[in-house]
Chains A and B, each alone.
Chain A
Amino acid sequence: MSYNPADYEARRRGYTQQYGATGAMNAYANFLSRQRGTRGRQDMLRQYDEAQPKIVSGFSRRGLVGPNVKSGVFSRGLQEFAKQRARNLSEYDQGQLEEQRMYDLTEAQRLESFRNQLAEMEMEKANTIAEAARQLYARRMGVV
């Protein structure tokens, strides 16, 4: 076993390049995901906003709401609409949040792996240096 610093630098460059490449790919994927999530949430809000007048007009055609008219059916229907909107938005946001957590966790694990690779390489290098020192010592003593 002989110590060659160039080997370790090449490995370091390889690890770093791989880490950077995968990180960029994941970051872009995360960006796209968040972009999709934002767009989807906006679509969902727009749909609910568009649905609100239709719900009121529907109850109005049936005479359940109007001037000096306020029925319990209308009130429960409107509350149910608000609850459904809040639930869907919460689920959607929770989904987006979990996707973001997954991305963050993946990035953390990827960073951990990258650092582990570098640390292992540094340890291997140190052991290689020590072994080279031992061999040099033995060679100096004429044993090898």
Chain B
Amino acid sequence: MSMTEQDIRNAERLSDNLVRSAGVISYKPLRDSGTTNITRDAGPAGAFGPGSLYGSSVKGVTSQQFTPTQGAALVAQPKLYGGTTPTGPQSTMGGFESLLNSLLGGSSAGGASASDRLAQAKFDYEKQQDARKASGLSDYYTGGSYNTGFDALLKMIADQGKVSEQNVAGAYERALGNINQGYQAAQTLGDEGYSALNAYLAANQNNPYAGMTAQVGSSPDALTNYLSAYGVSDQPVQGQIQADQLQAQQGAANYQNLLDTLSAVAQQSAGSRGTESQLAQLLFNTGLGQERAGYRSQAENAQAAALAQLQQQLFESRFGVEQNRNTLAQQLAQTVAELTGTAPTSNGGSGSGDGDGNKPTSGQLPQTATQQEIVANQLANLLAPAQAQNSTAEQLLAELNARRGR
């Protein structure tokens, strides 16, 4: 069995392991004696795969994996890319070169098998999906798109609050209108009643003694002619009549005094009744005004209570929306941070959190991390040392080709 065939088998097993295992994979170094296994996380699986994986992410393969002799042999090899493709039998390092070529997707006759390419394609797809997911979530978070629904809810709450406030104000205005209309109707009715009373009292002055006068009766005949016929003087008779007349006049004066007294009492009674009517009307209007003030106060209190309740409800609604927004923002930030290893900023640009070009850190995954998240995290952990040394597989290959060209 030649070295190339052995390498191909090893690569096939390695590829199978990569596909089956989402966690840790094992392989044997190509130039090793077979007693040492190199262990890498799932991330490095890509490092040993072909294609674009090497082009961007594989940083776990370093020259330290080869002995100085193997390194020298590699350097002594002809240039793999950019140079002439070897056509003859491979040298001692030809096996590794072929393997490397096959893993890189090269066109050597001994290229990767279909299962390798399938596994690589699947991994690339999943990685791409993770990157898209992280990028999308980051854009969704940093761009503030997730606020749209909440803003719409808040706007709806604010609009509903305005409508409700207008309804409360309208109800208050209607209540005031009803209060004023009822007041006007009651006042008009009461005033009409008292106006009718006053008109009646003015038209019916209750003083029946006003036109009464005490009259004195006529004087009786003194029989003057009869007495004179007998030559008798009527002087004593006239004296008697005058005395009686004087007594009658005194009686009439007393009667007139009585009439005057009764008339005065009647006038006072009428005046008292008129005053009573005015006081009753004043009391009615005052009481009615107080009742209106009380009703207005009740309406104002009801309006204040309704507005307070409305504000409380609006606050609770806004609080609930903001709480949900905050919860979603926290979840988004946490998810983006878990995928990218970097805490996103809500005011930043979009697409900065996809994780491909960032500097991942070896964060710990939550218990609820998905398989893809685990793979992405392990990949990031694997790439971290290589990035720290500023060396990539491409740089390594470039260096190898450069040495071969010399």
* Chain A hits for B185, CB < 8 A: 133, 136-137, 140
In Å, the complex CA distance between A119 and B202 comes to 10
Q: How far is the CA of A97 from the CA of B292 in the complex (A)?
A: 62
Cβ < 8 Å to B, chain A residues 11-62: 52, 56
Q: Which of B193, B222, B266, B269 makes the CB contact (< 8 A) with A82?
A: B222
Contact B186 A133 (CB under 8 A): yes
**Chain A, Cβ-Cβ closest to B200:** A122
Question: Is B173 engaged at the interface, CB distance under 8 Å to the other chain?
Answer: no
Residues of A within 8 A of B307 (CB): none
A129 with B201: CB separation less than 8 A: no
Interface string of B242-263 (1 = CB under 8 A from A): 0011011001000100110010
Chain B residue with the shortest CB-CB distance to A96: B217
Q: With contacts A105-B258, A126-B194, A126-B280 known, is A79 near B233, CB below 8 A?
A: yes
Count how many pairs of residues, one from A and one from B, have CB atoms less than 8 Å apart in the complex.
172
Q: Bound complex: CA of A75 vs CA of B187, how far in Å?
A: 85
**Shortest distance between the CB of B48 and any CB in chain A (Å):** 87
- Asked if B227 is at the interface (CB within 8 A of a chain A CB), the reply is yes
Q: How far is the CB of A113 from chain B (nearest CB, A)?
A: 9
> Chain B interface mostly helix, strand, loop or mixed?
helix
| A130 pairs with B284, CB closer than 8 A | yes
| CA A86 to CA B221, docked complex, whole Å | 7
A116 to B204, CA, bound (A): 10
Q: What's the Cα separation between A14 and B122 when bound, in Å?
A: 115
In the complex, B220 has a CB within 8 A of chain A: yes
- The SS class assigned to the A binding surface is helix
**A112-B217 contact, Cβ under 8 Å, with A87-B240, A136-B189:** no
B182-194, CB under 8 A of A: which get 1 and which 0?
A: 1101110110111
Contact call B276/A123, Cβ cutoff below 8 A: yes
Question: Which chain B positions have C-beta within 8 A of A70?
Answer: 230-231
Instruction: Give the B interface residue count (CB, 8 A).
Output: 66
B209 contacts A108, CB within 8 Å?
yes
From A79, A130, A132, A136, B232 is in contact (CB under 8 Å) with A79
Is B280's CB under 8 angstroms from A83's CB?
no
Which one of B189, B192, B206, B291 lies within 8 Å of A115 (CB-CB)? B206
A112 touches B237 (CB 8 A): no
Q: Which residues of B contact A134 (CB under 8 A)?
A: 186, 190, 284, 287-288, 291
A141 and B248 in contact (CB under 8 A), knowing A130-B193, A134-B284?
A: no
- Known contacts A104-B212, A141-B182; is A119 also within 8 Å of B273 by CB? yes
Judge if B89 is at the interface, Cβ distance under 8 Å: no
Q: Is B171 an interface residue (CB 8 A)?
A: no
A79 to B209, CA, bound (A): 42
Contacts of B281 in A (CB 8 A): 126, 130
B317-352 CB contact bits vs A (8 Å, 1 = yes)?
A: 000000000000000000000000000000000000
CA distance A126 to B204 in the complex (A): 16
**Complex A-B: 11 CB contacts under 8 Å:** A75-B230, A87-B244, A93-B217, A109-B208, A119-B204, A126-B193, A127-B280, A133-B190, A136-B186, A136-B189, A140-B182
What 9 A-B pairs are tightest by C-beta distance, nearest first? A129-B193, A89-B220, A90-B244, A137-B186, A126-B197, A133-B186, A115-B206, A130-B190, A133-B189
